[in-house]
Amino acid sequence: MEAAISVVPANQARAEDLQAVFGSRGPSSRCQCQRYKLAAGETFAGVPSEVRADRLYRQTDCGDPAAPTTSGLVAYLDAEPVGWCAVEPRPHYGGLVRVYKVPWLGRAEDPADESVWAVTCLLTRAEFRKRGVSRALARAAVGFARDRGARALEAYPMTTTAAITEELHVGSLATYAAAGFREVSRPTPRRAVMRIDFGPG
């Protein structure tokens, strides 16, 4: 049952709520949603987790409802912060453009096209999984991107249960399909490209 789940732009969330979602231990705490945000030449070992957390707060403009942009969404179950979704114009993920082949294999896509947005992370706190949080976030991401002028929205989910459990937080095929995405390519055995188009282009 998905009742009582609400989703807000991350700039409308408190910094402590965002940190509650990422936690203080485990892969999500270490990543702070910076996997695709590291600059050319940077490595995780060279950027301490507290620096990555500070970058995330600046990217989201947490606690500033008047901020003109933000880098994601925060989900609440009643008043408890339980999930995070990274959603921005695709070129904002520099690592996605420079390093990762999944979005580009077999497709004629312009990596610099700001009108195509991407979801790169769907994270639900472990104790709140299987309660519809990821699906609520994926649906909210569709409206969030569309309302801000996106021509299309993409995601790059895992295709097997074993892969999904590797703490990569990219979501599942079923989660995106339920939000209206369709599969447009299968660049590797474990990864798919899912997409929803909003208009011509």
What percentage of the chain has pLDDT greater than the value 90?
Answer: 64
20-50 exposure pattern, b = at least 16 Cβ within 10 A, e = fewer: bbbeeeeebebbbbbbbbbeeeeeeeebeee
pLDDT digits (tens, 9 = 90+) for 19-33: 999 988 888 888 999
Alpha carbon 36 to its chain centroid, in Å, reads: 10
Reduced to 3 states, what is the DSSP secondary structure of residue 121?
A: strand
The answer to whether residue 2 scores a pLDDT higher than 80 is no
Quote the CA–CA distance of 169 and 21 in Å, as a whole number.
12
Domain with 162 in it: what CATH number?
A: 3.40.630.30
CB neighbour list of residue 56: distance below 8 Å, 6 or more residues apart: 18, 22, 32, 33, 34, 71
Q: What CA–CA distances, in Å, run from 125 to 17, 42, 86?
A: 12, 28, 15
36: domain range? 5-197
Number of domains in the chain: 1
Contacts of 16 (CB under 8 A, 6+ apart): none
* 153 vs 104: which has the higher pLDDT: 153
The structure's pTM equals: 0.92
pLDDT tens digits along 82-114: 999 999 999 999 988 887 888 888 899 999 999
- CB 128, CB 136: distance < 8 Å: no
Q: What single letter denotes the amino acid at residue 91?
A: P
What count of other Cβ atoms lies within 10 Å of the Cβ of residue 191?
21
